[in-house]
A and B are shown apart, each in its own frame.
Chain A
């Protein structure tokens, strides 16, 4: 054998070893879970870690490949996903909201049904019926929700309310009356705290006004395009009351975000604030005490108190590379233990009925959990859960414009046009399907 042959033989052996080792290594690497989500803010990141830890404990050989994409409500993540899904390189699971937002992925054939997990975990019995409805399209479940935020909280400054002997308002009229009192007796205080620089908080405020003037049925009909916008008395009244609130809003709301003005509300520079339960976490972190500096009540209380709900969901993408890991991930989300621990950190509440109200360290979330189990649950319009995201984008523009030039008739025309353009009725049909 010549030297030349020796070299070739050794090369062949080396090549074979490398190939073999690579395959073996690759096989070891195969157990992965590629996950995309938007929980990047302070508490959210830690909350996600709770799920990761629980998942790893149950599936020690599966490596989580974490891809957080910052941007509230998943606005940036959606852009990223659009590319990944269109290019047919889906992750193993990703975060979505439920309802109309989730329907977009279903319509695009990008997500597969999760009925196996749904049935195995008996979610029909363990989750409220409305949550099943918000993940069901053409008779199949397409997402596994795991937490609920409540959107209809009225936060208020306790010292201010004690000073003025004010009771927390229960209706839109009450809210206006309370704002009037605050403005008359404390001219330096902005009665209603709101920050519309990111636009969507304007929708939070409108939603509770509409719930007060029309009740939950009108609310659901409006956002699913079942209401005749131009003739509906409830909607007109809601816009008129929204207009009546304008003089009492914090003057420079267009320059502030919701998180900018939560602090001033707790300090007493502003009176009340309609926002979701996520504001509680921010206030506590900033050192303001629940029951001492601020408090919160469900709003409105009349004609009936509801739980206006935002739900986070994880899905099973079509063509995911590690289907077993996806199933394990979705199953883990339904674990009451995981939901309880996760939601304490996240500042939302668990939706699994086995999680007791006493899980939460603060009054606000204990109340939320009790309301969730006892009162009617209405899907919030925010971030495109009830109405499609296309309408939500136009809707927040209409409302912020209205706050600067309040013309009820023009607003009604704008709403009607946007609903036609964004096909709200058509895409809201899923909500009324039996």
Chain B
């Protein structure tokens, strides 16, 4: 079959449209970030780097740094437990045999929930008076270990991360389960004949063979930490004070509540640059390590 001009338009058209829309919007945001747009109606007044300047050295510095630090905390604390729990659960499911059918949806279930639901439920669980965490601590005689959880400015972000780990573990597990199922069964059987235990199998067969899944899981989770918004909005509203604010939350409040639209666009640009700065080197590094 020969390809005609019609085919070209038919197949490349939608792709081009998406590219134009996506990159067009990104360019638009970048343009707004360079504008002195304050208020509801568009103001096209070129402001150069003023908005970025305000974020880095000006009056918004403190708030920007708090948000950035919290995003980095998310990056540092959220990914490892989520990915490793996902991998352990996946291996566990692979071992339990037929019970998997019952167990798998159970672990996948949190993924199906909206962040608003997760946030609301976890906020209840973190409740210092009636929440389940403090209740458990009190009932096992560890009453003095009870915490204010989300009401504590230093603990807040970690509490949010806890909820996110719960929500995303199922996602990591699914990808890892698929990766484990891809490993040829002969390797497992051969290892067992040689006397390998389940732990040995995990260490020497599973872990070295799920690298490609790790790459996807970690890359996706990195993006989650950079764009996290819903849980912060629902559970703490960035508080107490600004202590749990993240960049996307700051962006939303600055743009839509305070109507510093130029500043909001500048924060969006920062978020995008961060995503590029983190994900691109990671993807490059991990694809190099994959067997071809």
Interface on A for B, CB 8 Å cutoff?
75, 78-79, 82, 85-86, 104-105, 107-110, 196-199, 251-256, 389-390, 393-394, 397-398, 400-401, 403-404, 417, 420-422
Contacts and interface: CB of A to CB of B under 8 A. Distances in A.
B62 to A, nearest CB: 9
Contacts of B242: 397, 401
B237 interface: yes
B257 A107 contact: no
Interface in B34-88: 39-42, 59-60
A256 B151 CA distance: 8
Nearest to A195: B151
A389 B126 CA distance: 30
Contacts of A404: 153, 240-241
A109 B242 CA distance: 33
The 4 closest A-B pairs by CB, nearest first: A401-B241, A254-B151, A108-B41, A108-B40
Nearest to B127: A255
Interface of B: 39-42, 59-60, 123, 126-129, 148-153, 236-243, 253, 256-260
Given A82-B256, A254-B240, A401-B240, A105 B150 contact: no
Nearest to B42: A86
A14 to B, nearest CB: 32
Nearest to B131: A255
Contacts of B153: 404
B162 to A, nearest CB: 14
B238 A397 contact: yes
B259 A390 contact: yes
B31 to A, nearest CB: 15
Nearest to B156: A254
A278 B163 CA distance: 32
A185 B236 CA distance: 33
B256 A78 contact: yes
Nearest to B258: A390
Given A389-B259, A390-B258, A393-B257, A196 B239 contact: yes
Nearest to A105: B40
Given A397-B238, A397-B242, A255 B256 contact: no
B148 A254 contact: yes
Of A82, A110, A198, A254, most B-chain CB atoms within 10 Å: A254
Contacts of B240: 196, 254, 400-401, 403-404
A256 B42 CA distance: 37
Contacts of A256: 127
B148 A252 contact: yes
> Looking at chain A's contact residues, is the secondary structure mostly helix, strand, loop, or mixed?
helix
Contact of A417 (B59, B237, B238): B59
Nearest to B263: A421
A104 B259 contact: yes
Given A389-B259, A397-B238, A422-B258, A254 B150 contact: yes
Given A255-B127, A397-B239, 6 more contacts: A85-B40, A107-B40, A108-B41, A254-B150, A254-B239, A254-B240
A196 B123 CA distance: 14
A400 B156 CA distance: 14
Contacts of A82: 40, 256
A199 B153 CA distance: 13
24 contacts: A85-B40, A85-B41, A86-B40, A104-B40, A107-B40, A107-B41, A108-B39, A197-B150, A197-B239, A198-B237, A199-B237, A199-B239, A252-B151, A253-B151, A254-B151, A255-B127, A389-B258, A398-B241, A400-B241, A401-B241, A417-B59, A421-B59, A421-B60, A422-B258
Contacts of B39: 104, 107-108
A393 B253 contact: yes
Which residue among A78, A198, A252 has the maximum number of chain B CB atoms within 10 Å of its CB?
A: A252
B40 A255 contact: no
Contacts of B42: 86
B246 to A, nearest CB: 14
A196 B41 CA distance: 32
B240 to A, nearest CB: 4
Contact of A252 (B40, B60, B129): B129
Contacts of A104: 39-40, 259
B236 A197 contact: yes
A255 B59 contact: no
Nearest to A200: B237
A390 B260 contact: yes
Contacts of A403: 240
Nearest to B43: A108
Contacts of B149: 255
Contacts of A79: 256
Contacts of A110: 40-41
A255 B236 CA distance: 8
A389 B60 CA distance: 17
B183 to A, nearest CB: 45
Contacts of A421: 59-60
Nearest to B129: A252
B257 A389 contact: yes
A86 B257 contact: no
B200 to A, nearest CB: 45
A343 to B, nearest CB: 28
Given A86-B41, A104-B39, A255 B148 contact: yes
Interface-centre pick from B129, B148, B152 (highest chain A CB count, 10 A): B129
Contacts of B253: 393
Contacts of A198: 237
A263 to B, nearest CB: 12
